[in-house]
Amino acid sequence: MNSTYHFLKIIFIFLTVNACTVSASQFERFYSPEKVVNTQDFYWDATYDNLNYRLIAIEMPNGTLFADKFGNSLFFDGWSIHSIVGFGDFDGEYEFQETDIGRLEFNDENSFILGNSCGEWREDRSDNGLIYTQSCGTKEKFINKIVVDSGGGVMQIQQFLEPFNKLMTLKKQN
């Protein structure tokens, strides 16, 4: 019940504010009566700890919230996964609060905030766009990666999540 309620809140926000493919807003699509929003454009496949998830991307003021109807969600700030809930390892929850002027605000204070012991991002060009990589860890080395297509859209995010050092992979569905 609780995870379904949170998912319905997320979908409500998705339908009333921006939605995204991480790099660009489709805000205008929601207010144009002749255009129909295809929610398939906002789905991502996630893999964590050898389990697969289907998440929907929702643009927030400082990044992108990825969530499913089972209460699994994570917040991506444009460079890294900042906070996470669910996925079998991470307790907590995200909250949406209404401000005095009727705006909804995203609050991740009760979620699992991730640490990061990583170096600087490195940019490499590929035939299809850019690949950003980052070396992490002290004893064991892990590589975080963000793949960006030639149009500037993020297509893939790979990040090792501390303290478990398990790989989270997000891939934009085509």
Phi first, then psi, for residue 27 (nearest 5°) are -50, -40
Q: Which residue has the tokens 């960006």?
A: 148
Q: What is the pLDDT of residue 121?
A: 92
The token pair at 117 is 């012991």
Q: What is the pLDDT of residue 136?
A: 84
CB atoms within 10 A of CB 29: 14
Q: What is the pLDDT of residue 69?
A: 93
What Cα–Cα distance (Å) separates residue 92 from each residue in 3, 83, 146? Answer: 11, 10, 26
Give 120-156 pLDDT, tens digit per residue. Answer: 999 999 999 999 999 987 666 889 999 999 999 999 9
User: Which one, of 103, 94, 21, 29, lies nearest residue 64 by Cα?
Assistant: 21
Parse the chain into domains and list their residue ranges. 2-172
Whole-number average pLDDT of the chain: 76
The fraction of the chain above a pLDDT of 90, given in percent, is 33
Residue type for 106, please?
F
Give 103-121 pLDDT, tens digit per residue. Answer: 666 566 666 666 667 889 9
Is 0.75 topped by the overall pTM?
no
Residue 100 clears pLDDT 60, i.e. is over it: yes
